[in-house]
Chain A
Amino acid sequence: MTRFSRRAFTKLLVTAPPSLYLAGLVEKADLLQAQSECAIPNRIAGYTLTDEDKILASKFLAAQDKSLSTLRERDLANGLAPSFVPVSLRLEKREGKSR
């Protein structure tokens, strides 16, 4: 079975359902190596992940990686601070006028 590059594995994880791997279409050793490349640890928050958990987490992260790719390429101004909680500027203005 072919060893996957991270990019190829990421693409596979995004396009294929976890059942593909659970059904044995990818060998476990290849899968675990690829997961290792995707940096899925054996334990998260003190919980030991099963093989299925690792596949599911990998699938999510691969999709996440893809959706964030254009976002990561964007240069943000140094002074652009995070919002955390959205504030409607218009609402504040209206409150100020007590309408």
Chain B
Amino acid sequence: MIPVETLFLSLSQQAKLIKRKKLSPVAITEAYFNRIEKINPRVHAFAIVTTELAIQQAQQAEKEINAGFYRGPLHGIPFAAKDLFAVKGYPTTWGARPYSYQVIDDDAAVIVRLKNAGAILLGKCAMSELAGGPPNATATGACRTPWDLSRWSGGSSSGSAAAVAAGLCSFALGSETWGSIMTPASFCGVTGLRPTFGQISRAGVMSLSWTMDKVGVLARDAIDCSTVFDIVRGKDSEDPYSTDAIFKPKYTKASERLSKLRIGFMREDYDKWGEPDVARAFQEGLRVFKQMGTEPVELTLPEHPYEAAATTIIAAEEASAFEPLIRSGKISGIIDPDRRGELLGGQLITAVDYLRCQRIRTAMVQDFAELFSKIDLILGSSTLKCAPPIDADMNSIFEGGNIIEAAENLLGLPAVSIPCGFNTVRVQ
């Protein structure tokens, strides 16, 4: 019997135990399934469990490790994937009723890389309908943050963050077009990595916006995220936008390197758009960075209409991506009325407006290149508010502020969301 604490160990800690044969891949897989059975009906983190596949993968991993063939840090590690990653033999619903019975007869490229690394797929995680919309706009019921089941886990990688936070898997795959990793990571108190655009192949992943979609990782800490990232990243012939880049994390001299970093930070208008608890947590985070020998300087972003450009680009591209849904008439099955309006209205965005936004994007890239000649990284709040109640008006929750999130996603910049404390009702 595996103690529940083992299910909450970091990936790197679990990997050490598995490598030394002190933790059985089959036993930990069964333990996660037992916990999913118990916890998932309340959290709604998993849309589908892939029991048969997982047991087969776990048995194979155990056999290989016992025979002295250890593939690396993900060998025998159970994970979950947002339900927009294709997995052969299982439904891929994209969180939307019109696709409830969709089966894609191939594995997404990132799923293949994880299988080759010996990782074990426990199931597909719940997500917002077509990667957008409020808590109840999903085929599997509103996903809740495990810290407070009356509150939303965030979206659209809702189940991926909730599953990690609830100890239902070791790590999970998510995706982000605009806030879909950062927001649930923040609301669920886990670490989320949104890599640079093109670093992880999107082959076999639902397309929302070809020029803004990114695949990422949700895990217990940044080291775990980097371990997974290093295995799944890299050029893939099936994704023309994918690239190879140098990635050499150095942990041994982290403090030495940190003091040399030029850090900027954003002072958000928490009084207008945020919550005092988030402002306090961010100030505390800044204090910690200063204690570590850095000198963060306040900065303002180059002036651009980031949100208007992001909204227009996403709306035009998703209207094109989901044209078959509209043509089939199955768009009537989309739960969120605003989303239906966006998909239909997006068809009427003019080419000139779309190009105008893409041209302004070029100006943004130039301005940010200038900005990053003066600083190395930017500190900011992943969200300006804490996890909201399930039935809250999400339009008002996400109204205004946090402009940097639109900018980062337009520019394809990487980001890591790390837990930064709790508010007065114990929600991240």
| Given known A-B contacts A67-B308, A71-B305, A85 and B359 have beta carbons under 8 A apart | no
A90 and chain B: residue at smallest CB distance: B372
State whether A45 touches B358 (Cβ < 8 A).
no
- Choose from A18, A45, A71 the contact partner of B337 (Cβ within 8 Å): A18
Is the Cβ of A98 less than 8 Å from the Cβ of B311? no
A25 contacts partner chain B, Cβ-Cβ < 8 Å: no
Q: Is B349 an interface residue (CB 8 A)?
A: yes
Which partner residue on chain B sits nearest A59 by CB separation?
B341
CB distance from B248 to the nearest CB of A (A): 8
Give A67 to B304 CA distance when docked, in angstroms: 12
Cβ-defined contact, B312 with A44, below 8 A = no
A86 close to B211 (CB less than 8 A): yes
Are A98 and B246 in touch, CB under 8 angstroms? yes
**Which of B139-147, B159-167, B285-293, B324-332 lies at the binding interface?**
B324-332
Chain A residues with Cβ below 8 Å from B348 are: 39-41, 44, 57, 61
Q: A47-B331, A86-B211 are contacts. A56–B340 as well, Cβ < 8 Å?
A: yes
Q: Please, how many angstroms separate the alpha-carbon atoms of A76 and B71 in the complex?
A: 53
**Complex contacts, B37 vs chain A, CB 8 Å:** none
Least CB distance, B303 to chain A, in whole angstroms: 11
Closest chain B residue, CB of each to CB of A89: B369
Contact of A57 among B248, B329, B341, B365 (CB under 8 A): B341
A29 within 8 A of B: no
A86 contacts B365, C-beta separation under 8 Å: yes
Once A68-B312, A83-B361 are accepted as A-B contacts, the answer to whether A56 and B338 lie under 8 Å apart by CB is yes
Contacting residues, chain A, for B312 (C-beta < 8 A): 64, 67-68
Do A76 and B340 touch (CB < 8 A)? no
Query: What residue of chain A has the Cβ atom nearest to residue B350's Cβ?
Result: A68
> Restricting to B158-211, which residues have a CB under 8 Å from any CB of A?
196-198, 211
**Closest partner residue, chain A, to B358 (CB atom):** A82
How many chain B residues touch A (Cβ–Cβ < 8 Å)?
51
**Chain B 335-372 interface mask (CB, 8 Å, partner A; 1/0):** 00110111011111100010111111111010001001
The interface residues of chain B lying within 8 Å CB-to-CB of A18 are 337, 341
Q: A56-B340, A72-B356, A82-B359 are in contact. Are A64 and B410 (CB under 8 A)?
A: no
Q: Least Cβ distance of A75 to chain B in Å? A: 11
Distance between Cα atoms of A76 and B323 in the complex (Å): 31
Q: Is B241 an interface residue (CB 8 A)?
A: yes
Please give the distance in Å from B202's CB to the nearest CB on chain A: 12
Most buried by B among A18, A50, A57: A57
Known: A76-B360, A87-B365. A56 touches B211 (CB 8 A): no
- In residues 292-325 of chain B, which contact A (Cβ within 8 Å)? 305, 307-309, 311-312, 315, 323
Contact at A64–B349, with CB atoms within 8 Å? yes
Q: How far is the CA of A80 from the CA of B369 in the complex (A)?
A: 16
Interface-centre pick from A18, A49, A83 (highest chain B CB count, 10 A) = A83
A residues with a Cβ closer than 8 A to B are 18, 39-41, 44-47, 49-50, 52-53, 55-61, 64, 67-68, 70-72, 74, 76, 80-91, 94-95, 98-99
**Which residues of B are interface residues toward A (Cβ below 8 A)?**
196-198, 211, 241, 245-246, 248, 305, 307-309, 311-312, 315, 323, 326-329, 331-332, 337-338, 340-342, 344-349, 353, 355-363, 365, 369, 372-373, 410-413
5 extra interface residue pairs, beta carbon distance < 8 Å, beyond A72-B356, A83-B362: A46-B327, A57-B348, A64-B315, A82-B358, A83-B361
